Structure 1
Amino acid sequence: MDRLTSARVFVEVADRASLTQAAERLGMSPAMVSRHLAAAEEWLGSRLLHRTTRRVSLTDAGQAAMVSCRQLLELAQEMQHRAGDRSREPDGTLRITTSPSFAEAQLTAALVDFQRHHQRVRVDLLVVDRAVDLVEDRIDLAVRISNTLDPGLVSRALTQCRSVLCAAPSYLARHGHPGTADELKTHPCIGHAFGSGTTYRLTRAGRAIEIPVSGSLFTNETAILRRAVLAGAGIGMLPTYFVTEQLRRGELVQLLPDHEPEVLGIHAVYLSRRHQPLALRLLVDFLAARFGGATAPWDAPPGKRVPR
């Protein structure tokens, strides 16, 4: 007998604790349900259910098999969706949110490229430097940069967010280069109100250190922080996705390269894996392919960057 169907029958019977109700739900006769259960037990080599005239319950082997059978059915459903996706054109509106700096530097171009392939998909992009409520704001997808995610949401890792300590040549000409992490305490450091704040968390030779810093300018917006650093106001900690070009052109200079700021994850975050719009599934796959890999595309050496 079809093993996938037998697994579906077993799960339905276990969920409803009734062969009769499972048969009605599946559109089968009780006799056919019994045959599928027998086939599942023969296939798995264990008795899966305790059956009486009034009650059906799982054996210990049935409890263990239930987990695997559910995973098998979910995988089969996912394969079916993806096979069907090839013959359908996605459409509809996707509401997406991310930080202003990541939207400006990376995500907007990625979304434009995605829409070139899927012209019937409309995107509403909400850029805010805070984590919005996906339910309240009717968000389909959030691209978040964090190591702390809401456990009630589904996430898929896209890549890593690395940062650098940097300053403008004009600032360094006036104040000099800090030679050690401790010397950062004597320099004005521009802080991110929701990020580094007044403490720089660094790793050197596998050892984590925290350096308290001070300055006269703090902001909640990464673009403002970058503008202030470019203007020579002080030292800043900035994500590489946002300053790679400025570093390459010499407009900013990396400081203390053997001290790495905390590495954060970049994640696609959404409400559920079930009943996802085709456009959303395709977009998450597209972003994982565009940004994923051993090294984020903006961190790869210029000659080794793969066109996206």
Structure 2
Amino acid sequence: MTILVTGATGNVGRRVVEQLVKRGADVRALVRDPAKANFPAGVQIAQGDLLDIDSLSGAFSGVSTLFLLNAVTSDEFTQALVALNIAREAGIERIVYLSVIHSDVYVNVPHFAGKFAVERMIEQMGLDATILRPAYFMNNDLTIRDVVRGYGVYPMPIGSKGLAMIDARDIGEIAAIELIRREQSSTPLPLTRINLVGPDTLTGADAAAVWSEVLGRPIGYGGDNTAGFETNLRQLMPSWMAFDMRLMSERFQTDGMVPDDGDVARLTALLGRPLRSYRDFVAEIATVA
């Protein structure tokens, strides 16, 4: 049978597709623009999006397992509910949903609250699913690499509680492993939640220290100014999204993204190797042009 991956051209979705192909799965990728679908040989391409009912119904036809990833958009919740309902109508009984860690704690942050609502709908609809809850993507820091190198400052206002940053490559691999586990089970498996975290829980000062070590010169932490963070983001994204990101950064500072006991050990056992560290990630990207 076929595993369908939504959000397949994104930072995580593309890695899920690659890892599934590596494991010999029959993969179909839902994409808006087939021109961007540079996937390994054998991957089926389904053109459409999560608000186009007809294209979605066609993409879900013959699918046994669904990887549901919704981008942060103003209609993210609607997209997810449409997809879940179409999946149920199509008879899909195996689902892996990409949520976010502490979705039930960051209740005032729009995209966290939306993902928690989707988790509740999955439960109330009686769907058999794995809910993956990743912490901060260390890959987000690709966007601030030039600021760090050019100004000597780590600018993300992540505070002093600590974030268990995880590499998107690890997220993609874990998701693929879980999709295969559900796909190959003779009966649908019960609902489960898995926190996706990295091996280290880093504060803003810790992240700056990592950059200092890798670059061989002092890098300072830019501080906890979330209003300034929002102002800067407004140059890159819609105001509602920049506001959402500011609210998230405020919760970074008050609550952090701290793993539960056993999270790191569970993921290490699942992968059969250590999780990628933030230092190794920074070492990979720090000197790339």
For the criterion TM > 0.5, the same-fold answer is no
* TM-score scaled by length of structure 1: 0.30
* TM-score scaled by length of structure 2: 0.32
**Higher-strand-fraction structure:** 1
